[in-house]
Amino acid sequence: MKRLITGAVILVILGLVAFYMSTNQNGSTIRSELSNFAVEDTAAVMRIVMKDQSGRTVDLKRQPDQSWTVNEAYQARPDGIKILLSTMKKLAVKSPVSENNMNSILKGIIASHVLVDVYGEANEPIKSFYVGGANQLHTGTNMMMKGSTRPFVIHLEGFHGFITPRFFTNELEWRSREVFGAKIEEIASLEVTFTEHPEKNFHFENHGEGNLVMLGGEKMDQPARFDTLELNAYLANYKMIHYESYEETKSKAFLDSIKLSEPLFTITLETDYETKSVIGFRKPLKDGYDLEGNPINYDQDRLYIWVDSNQIFIGQYAIFDKLTKAVYFFR
pLDDT tens for each residue of the chain, 331 residues long: 444 444 443 333 333 333 333 334 444 455 464 447 999 999 999 999 999 999 999 999 999 999 999 999 999 999 999 999 999 999 999 888 888 888 999 999 999 999 999 999 999 999 999 999 999 888 999 999 998 888 999 999 888 889 999 999 999 999 999 999 999 999 999 999 999 999 999 999 998 888 899 999 888 888 988 999 999 999 999 999 999 999 888 999 999 999 999 999 999 999 988 999 999 999 999 877 777 878 889 999 999 999 998 889 999 999 999 999 999 999 8
Distance, CA of 244 to CA of 265 (rounded, Å): 18
Same domain, 103 and 191: no
The upper half-sphere exposure of residue 262, i.e. CA atoms within 13 Å in the direction of its Cβ, equals 4
Let me know if residue 163 belongs to a domain. yes
The number of domains in the chain is 2
Same domain, 234 and 279: yes
Same domain, 153 and 206: no
Distance, CA of 202 to CA of 198 (rounded, Å): 9
Distance, CA of 233 to CA of 302 (rounded, Å): 24
Range of the domain at 147: 39-174
Query: Which of 155, 174, 193 is where one domain is finished?
Result: 174
Query: Which of 143, 174, 205 is where one domain is finished?
Result: 174
Let me know if residue 70 belongs to a domain. yes
Residue 283 phi/psi, 5° resolution?
-100, 110
Let me know if residue 130 belongs to a domain. yes
User: pTM of the prediction?
Assistant: 0.76
Distance, CA of 205 to CA of 56 (rounded, Å): 45
